[in-house]
Structure 1
Amino acid sequence: MVSFFSTIFPSADKSDWMAQVLKELKVTQTSEDALESLRWHSPEGFSVDPYYTADDLTQLSSIQTIQAAQKQTPGWLNAPEYVVANDKSTNASLRDALTRGADALVLSMPSAQPDWTTESLSRLLNGIKLSETPIFVRLPAEQTARFVEVLKTVAPYQLKGGLLTDTSESTATITRQTLDSPQFRTICASSHAFHNAGATASQELAFTLASLTDTYDQLTDNGLTLEQIIPKTVISLSVGTSYFLEIAKLRALRVLLGRLITAYSSSIHPSSFFVQGQTSTFYDAAATANTNLLRATTEAMAAVIGGCDALTIHPYDTVLGTSTNPDFSARIARNVSILLKDECYLDKVADPAAGSYYIETLTAKLVETAWTLFMSVEEKGGFAKALASGFISAELDKAYQEKVEAVRAGKVLVGVTKFRLDESGSPSYTPPVASETVLPSRRLAKAFE
């Protein structure tokens, strides 16, 4: 059937577009020179054209592989995060959130918790059934074994959720203990340390993949099979403000995971990996915290279009460390995810970015640059050795300094370098649980506030 619009708007190919570009620029350059002046030379090490067409996709040999690796079912879990301070008061907040749109919960446990008891955990989870509501927990690695032991006493049935914590000596044991709860994920690979140190998207993907590879080598050496550990794995990914690039980053992640498990001679589909996306604190502004609402919305939309399975949106005032109205900021954060479902209908289709000329191209470029860097890490003996040698820190420091220089050269940080309204009291953000890493936790805006 001939489209009605085809009679009004004649078809145009890339050469027609270039002819119009030359006319608008009023230059005598060749089309290639004009195109070069419009290209974005990204921090990832590749250039991006200002315009893509269907012809570009026909030249993209990996497009079928990219699309086949994506999540097969639409939707995501709205998983707000709560810092556990008092068992009873936190329980009231958790139960309230579940009545107001939360589908899952992320609990950030105090690092100084001396011991977990059935009484304290029962008070914290009172009225919440973990076979219906996934609970993801952040806590120091040395506490995980005791926590899971007590959890299985408090909730002696199939659990949902998992551990958002570093791999430890007890990970293999915990994984075996919870094999009867296939939706309780005990193996976590997180990108947050790299992201908050200033990583590019390619670095974030490559170093997360390298970290996961080290973990899988340890667990398979311990006797676990890929068929056991992949469904028990959660990838926790920070999502930044570069909208299209972040969509491509999440899509590229699943392609890279597919390559990785193929290297292990496994045929498990990449969608078996559970991906939790969370909004970034690296780009947040303390000087004008309300602008973080805009950042969080952009990041959240990128995460769900990119195909996350769970989404954690930080309240806009998280960067301040304290909140004058924590109930309000938590509600607004939770409602962003609800809006993306109920008003944008982004939970109605899987991989909505499929077929986008620009995003498909970005995804393919990210896959190759991240894989190349990942292989460089493997050639250095793997993630742990590359980290110990200083290679990873040096790469991240360079990327961070380039971000800082870009701001100094005029790149706008909304609410920081422009459109700023200073507010009284802007302490630096302190994460509730310190990550066990030698990498610095940074915030880009801090140097300019």
Structure 2
Amino acid sequence: MKPFFSTIFPATDKSDWLIQAQKESKSVQNGEDAYESLLWQTENGFVLEPYYTANDFTNSPILTSSTGVETIQTAQKHSLGWLNAPEYTITDEKSDNSILRDALARGADALVLNLPDQLDQPDNLLSRLLNGIKLSDTPVFFHLNPLKATTFLQTLKTVAPYQLKGGLLMDAGSSTAEVTRLTANSPQFRTVCASSHVFHNAGATATQELAFTLASLTDTYDHLTRDGLTIEQLVPKTVVSMSVGTSYFPEIAKLRAIRVLLARFLSAYSPSPFPSLLLHCQTSAFYDAKTTVNTNLLRATTEAMAAVIGGCDVLTVHPYDMVVRTSAELSDHEFSDRIARNVSVLLKEESYLNKVADPSAGSYYIETVTHKLVEAAWLLFLDIEKQGGLSMSLASGFIQNELERSLQAKVETVRNGKVLVGVTKFKVDEPSAGENIPANDFTGSLPARRLSEQFE
């Protein structure tokens, strides 16, 4: 007996859909190649169809390449849920301690802390800041001056003399090998970090963001293995930190792609599988707007959903007014901090996105985008390696030139009609709040940008 719905809605294949789409496109546009208008010429160097079915997977490279569907899905996170890790900039350790403890009582599972550059008395600061917060139960991730990392870790081990959870969310530096050894007895405290934020905030495409982050990790591992650490020591201590933008499905695919790329990269060291690297995601600063700042909440919610569906282990949702905060106001935004924290809570408690691992697995569209991003990013990564790695590519200006082209292409897209809600459309005039001072913005030679800057 046929299912009820199959008698009402007979099966069709993609060719039927294409015929109908071609007819309707011609009726609207009256053009021979009207279907071409439905194709998405992405900024990532490949074209996407408007619609994918099982037919597209028959004899497709996605099934026969080294990043076939099975390989893509094997590389993904298979555990449920994520850590809700709001970010705070520390200005007064005693009052900030109350804020942190309140956040943990109201839905936060972990913390991301921006520490001041000057840590003249780190023992006093940490003992007051972490009073009542046990790092063996609550993971805490720190942003700090890389030159202070060794002293900081020595002090932290004195203040919290037990196994630590969390890590350092800063790109590797000269102290990384030492702090990795210092925390060898805390396997859940990550000390090796490769982040995409500097590239993302300079205007990178998803392909560039993936390739440059992988190249950054390659340089880091090269330095650390020369310093005497083994790859088996490094992988469990590694965290990859990614910014997540507003392009919903491609951002989901980007996060799935980074896991595939990392698995392929690590297979060069050993054919045996390594433990999965921790993936921290944060909502984008690049797409935030200073005008009509409430629209940033819409962006952050979309970005947070993409991060969760893409498989993040730790999620930081930035407050919607972060872009207009000044250094004097950083601890005076209780409402926006609470809303940011609750975005993650709602995705768990009301959307139940913590009930399934890799929910996009099997989606013809997302699997295809993931595959295309992996292949495009891998080719760019190999090109960077031929130039001597990320450091040499930065020194030659290659990375900067690539990012500048990408940024200008994004700006031109907006000039040509792409809507930035609250900036180019639905804008509400608001009093100026002044320019914010981003905390711990370790951008090196790459500028931190926002897409809406030229339109505000």
Q: TM-score normalised by the shorter chain: which range applies?
A: over 0.9
Q: Matched residues in 2 for 1:359 and 1:116: separation?
A: 49
Rounded Cα–Cα distance in structure 2 between residues aligned with 1:7 and 1:226:
58
| C-alpha distance in structure 2 between counterparts of 1:124 and 1:421, whole Å | 39
Is 1:435 equivalent to 2:442 in the alignment? yes
Shift of 1:249: 0.3
- Take 1:291 and 1:152, find their aligned partners in 2: how far apart are those partners? 42
Equivalent residue number for residue 325 of structure 2: 321
Contact 2:26/2:32 (8 A) holds in 1? no
Deviations along 1:48-106, one digit per CA (max 9) or x if unpaired, are: 00110012234221111101100011110000000000010110000000000000000
Deviations 1:383-438 (A, max 9, x none): 10001110000000000000111111111100000000121014334211130510
Instruction: Give the Cα separation in 2 of the matches to 1:159 and 1:34.
Output: 59
**Cα 1:36–1:416, aligned 2, differ >3 Å: closer, same or farther?**
same
Residue 90 of structure 1: which of 83, 93, 96 is its match?
96
SS of residue in 2 equivalent to 1:26: helix
- The reply to whether residue 190 of structure 1 matches residue 195 of structure 2 is yes
Q: Are 2:151 and 1:151 aligned?
A: no
1:162 and 1:184 in contact (8 A); partners too: yes
Give the match for residue 102 of structure 1.
Answer: 108
Distance across 1 between alignment mates of 2:271 and 2:435 = 45
Q: Secondary structure at the match of 2:225?
A: helix
Q: Structure 1: any 5+ residue segments left out of the alignment?
A: none
The 3 A distance-change label for structure 1 pair 2 and 262 is: farther
Rate the CA distance shift 1:158–1:55 in 2: closer, same or farther, 3 A.
same
* Aligned residues of 2:150 and 2:179 also touching (Cα < 8 A): yes
C-alpha contact (below 8 Å) 1:197/1:400 kept by paired residues: yes
Does structure 1 residue 402 correspond to structure 2 residue 409?
yes
Give how far 1:28 is off. Answer: 12
Residues 28 and 96 of structure 1, relative CA distance in 2, 3 Å threshold: closer
In the other structure, the counterpart of 2:286 is 282
Moved over 4 A (4+): 27-32
1:76 aligns with 2:71: no
Distance verdict in 2 for CA 1:358–1:121, change over 3 Å: same
* Identical amino acids, percent of aligned pairs: 64
1:293, distance to aligned residue in structure 2 (A): 0.5
Match of 2:71 in 1: 65
Q: Which residue of 2 aligns with 1:365?
A: 372
State the TM-score, normalizing by the size of structure 2. 0.95
Partner of residue 342, structure 1: 349
Query: How big is the shift at 1:216?
Result: 0.4
Deviation, structure 1 residue 27: 5.3
Return the match for 1:356 from 363, 371, 395: 363
Q: TM-score if structure 1 supplies the norm length?
A: 0.96
Measured at CA, do residues 266 and 326 of structure 1 come closer, stay the same or move farther in structure 2, by a change above 3 Å? Answer: farther
Alignment partners' CA distance in 1, 2:121 and 2:214: 32
Give 1:167's match in structure 2, choosing from 153, 169, 172. Answer: 172
What is the RMSD computed on CA atoms of the aligned residues? 1.8
Displacement of 1:140 in angstroms is 1.2
Structure 1 pair 21–108 and aligned structure 2 pair: CA distance change class (3 A): same
Give distance in 2, aligned partners of 1:57 and 1:19: 20
Unaligned runs of 5+ in 2: none
Give the C-alpha shift of residue 266 in structure 1: 4.8
- The equivalent residue for 1:137 is 142
Secondary structure of 2:81 counterpart? coil
The residue aligned with 2:266 is 261
Match of 1:291 among 295, 303, 306: 295
Aligned residues: 447
C-alpha displacement of 1:176: 1.0
Q: Is the contact between residue 22 and residue 35 of structure 2 (CA under 8 Å) also seen in structure 1?
A: no
SS in structure 1 at match of 2:221: helix
Task: Specify the SS of the correspondent of 1:428.
Answer: coil
Where 2:355 maps in the other structure, the secondary structure is coil
User: Would you say 1:446 and 2:450 are equivalent positions?
Assistant: no
